Structure 1
Amino acid sequence: MRNLDITTLRSFVAVADNGGVTRAAGFLHLTQSAVSMQLKRLEELLGLQLLDRSGRTIALTASGEQLLAYARRMVALNDEVIGRLTDQAYEGEIVLGVPHDIVYPAIPQVLQRFNASFPRVKVQLISSFTRSLKEQFSRGECDLILTTETTTSENGETLAERPLCWIGAPNGSAWRQRPLKLAFGRYCTFRPKVVGALDVAGIAWDMVVETDSDRTIEATVSADLAIHTMIEGTEPPHLVQIDHAGNLPELPVQLINLYGAETSGSPMVSELAFLVRKAFQNISAPLAAAQSHWTAA
């Protein structure tokens, strides 16, 4: 297999751009003989004549014209890779805040993709409640935050609109019990909407778990000792949406909002915001379709 050398391609592009070997050598800070040798080596590798040397000035042959477009792209890509991996401009730390219940499945994939592009940038992930995240963002402690809300505040961007759904254990029966046993976080923004809907529907309820730990909630619900609510499409694989056939009230639509993307001024933050935006815009599709999109992209 023959491999093109970036150094020779760079010399070729310089000759084409500067109209000759002499000017290209000055631009590259090389001797004329060094540039000529690189061009000869490139022609020998390809088995093609790239330069027409018959006139007073050097011109590109048809093959040379065809190679030039590829050479520009390969040199530019090489420089981008080197810049991303070594330039101090692409070092630092970004603080990303995400509510507990929408970390999966999107955020791990976002972090993986961002790290591939900016390996020298650390992303500190803070997982908390929407209210806490907005307070931290207002104090400048987060660069980007996601929230789950029913409205969008100033400078916010809505990425997705999805309904809340009832979540329980696979083949569970806790949702049939009365009073209905619930497990929620103390500061969960869904909680007042859920209990309000139950009150309107005349369904008695009992808050059997009130905690700051999502793991505690998941363990309780997985054991079929209570039920919970989550945004449709974000439930973990060990929990399922409850097919209650209308025996539980319908729940309101929630907005997944992004804050900080328009005010950062940082290309790294903008890139992270782009990946987050792309991930959560896919949340309107079934989870499997969203994962397929990420794999194919």
Structure 2
Amino acid sequence: MRNLDITTLRSFLAVAEAGGVTRAAGFLNLTQSAVSMQLKRLEESLGLALLDRSGRGVSLTPAGEQLLKYARRMVELNDEIYARLTATDWEGELVLGVPHDIVYPVIPRVMKKMQRDFPRVRLQLISSYTAGLKEQFARGEVDVILTTETEPGDGAEPLLEVPLRWYGAPTGTAWKTRPLRIAFSRRCGFRPVAISLMEREGFDWELAVDSESDRTIEVSVSADLAVTPILEGHAPAHFELIPPGELPELGKQSICLYASSARPQLIEPLLGALRAEFGVLRGRREIAAA
């Protein structure tokens, strides 16, 4: 009877998600050689090549792609069993605050992992703008917050740097009109950044939509009545990236992490999950850039 080892499957998953052995080793707190040996053992036990190492990075072979979904299910089931039978001391409530525009794709995965690994910890999610979240954090109303900032504030842990881009309607023409019609939310932290850059460059623009409602911004942009700044990769599916260089560059924003020092036993697993998921995003960006 042959049995698959959960530890080797966990290493395989980390390599597949991180896109490389070195980065996966960092996430697993193992040496690169230890991870490589585990992968070799897994391939030998199955008699299959799971990774294609011929390119600059590491990609999955067809057999590796097939194994991936099973490996994820087995590791998740293993962790769920272990958590439910042993983690009886982990109990309480945490409040996580996240700007609405970076909820996807990371936060659902983090919440699922926390529920699986720590079923007695209730994780409450609130979504708001960075300024409001920082105020709530300062008052002790939120345990952990993520922010989007041009410059990380005191006590911030930068997780990822993301370009701020212009988005409009698919096949739209609003970005070609002058003055450029822009839709802004009144509380959006990107608003002063974009206005400052437009004014500094003397670009002809006007405020087309000034609203408290993000839905109003979405409808206006989707209708090709205006454009709006959004973090690259975080725009709604019905928005289209305006080709870089056509409008003034908006620079980059840092996604930052702020955490309370209270209740570290509960908070540290959440911080670890957030760091790991944003680490995966950072790795994918680095691979794409290379």
TM-score category, normalised to shorter length: 0.5 to 0.7
1:125-169 CA-partner distances (Å, limit 9, x unpaired): 111111111110000000000011122222210001111011111
Note closer, same or farther for the CA distance 1:188–1:249 as it changes in structure 2 (3 Å cut): same
* TM-score of the aligned structures, taking structure 2 as reference length: 0.67
% identical equivalent positions: 47
Counterpart-to-counterpart distance in 1, 2:283 and 2:223: 29
Other-structure match for 2:269: 271
Q: Count residues with an aligned counterpart.
A: 212
Other-structure match for 1:237: 237
Contact 1:233 1:286 in 2 (8 A): no
CA RMSD of aligned residues (A): 2.6
Query: Which residue identity does 2:113 align to in structure 1?
Result: R
Other-structure match for 2:84: 81
Is structure 2 residue 152 aligned with structure 1 residue 152?
yes
Note closer, same or farther for the CA distance 1:226–1:78 as it changes in structure 2 (3 Å cut): closer
Query: Which residue identity does 2:243 align to in structure 1?
Result: D
Other-structure match for 1:48: none
Instruction: State the 4+ residue runs in structure 1 displaced beyond 6 angstroms.
Output: 76-79
Give 1:271 deviation, angstroms.
Answer: 1.0
- Structure-to-structure mapping, 1:175-214, within 5 angstroms: 175-214=175-214
Counterpart-to-counterpart distance in 1, 2:82 and 2:112: 22
Note closer, same or farther for the CA distance 1:223–1:78 as it changes in structure 2 (3 Å cut): closer
1:14-73 CA-partner distances (Å, limit 9, x unpaired): xxxxxxxxxxxxxxxxxxxxxxxxxxxxxxxxxxxxxxxxxxxxxxxxxxxxxxxxxxxx
Other-structure match for 2:42: none
Contact 2:175 2:227 in 1 (8 A): yes
Counterpart-to-counterpart distance in 2, 1:187 and 1:105: 23
Other-structure match for 1:66: none
SS of the residue corresponding to residue 155 of structure 1 reads coil
Counterpart-to-counterpart distance in 1, 2:143 and 2:215: 26
Give 1:281 deviation, angstroms.
Answer: 2.6
Give 1:181 deviation, angstroms.
Answer: 1.2
Is structure 2 residue 115 aligned with structure 1 residue 115?
yes
Counterpart-to-counterpart distance in 2, 1:189 and 1:183: 13
SS of the residue corresponding to residue 183 of structure 1 reads strand
- Structure-to-structure mapping, 1:220-235, within 5 angstroms: 220-235=220-235
SS of the residue corresponding to residue 281 of structure 2 reads helix
Counterpart-to-counterpart distance in 2, 1:283 and 1:205: 33
Note closer, same or farther for the CA distance 1:127–1:136 as it changes in structure 2 (3 Å cut): same
Note closer, same or farther for the CA distance 1:283–1:234 as it changes in structure 2 (3 Å cut): farther
Counterpart-to-counterpart distance in 1, 2:177 and 2:85: 61
Give 1:78 deviation, angstroms.
Answer: 6.5
Contact 2:130 2:148 in 1 (8 A): yes
Greater C-alpha radius of gyration? 1
Counterpart-to-counterpart distance in 2, 1:285 and 1:240: 24
Other-structure match for 2:253: 254
Give 1:79 deviation, angstroms.
Answer: 6.3
Other-structure match for 1:98: 98
Counterpart-to-counterpart distance in 2, 1:257 and 1:238: 27
Counterpart-to-counterpart distance in 1, 2:82 and 2:104: 35
SS of the residue corresponding to residue 125 of structure 2 reads strand
Contact 1:151 1:255 in 2 (8 A): yes
Contact 1:104 1:236 in 2 (8 A): no
Q: Which consecutive unaligned segments of at least 5 residues does structure 1 have?
A: 2-75, 291-297
Other-structure match for 2:174: 174
Counterpart-to-counterpart distance in 1, 2:124 and 2:211: 24
Contact 1:175 1:227 in 2 (8 A): yes
Counterpart-to-counterpart distance in 1, 2:165 and 2:121: 36
Counterpart-to-counterpart distance in 1, 2:258 and 2:114: 18
SS of the residue corresponding to residue 119 of structure 2 reads coil
Other-structure match for 1:71: none
SS of the residue corresponding to residue 171 of structure 2 reads coil
Contact 2:83 2:116 in 1 (8 A): no
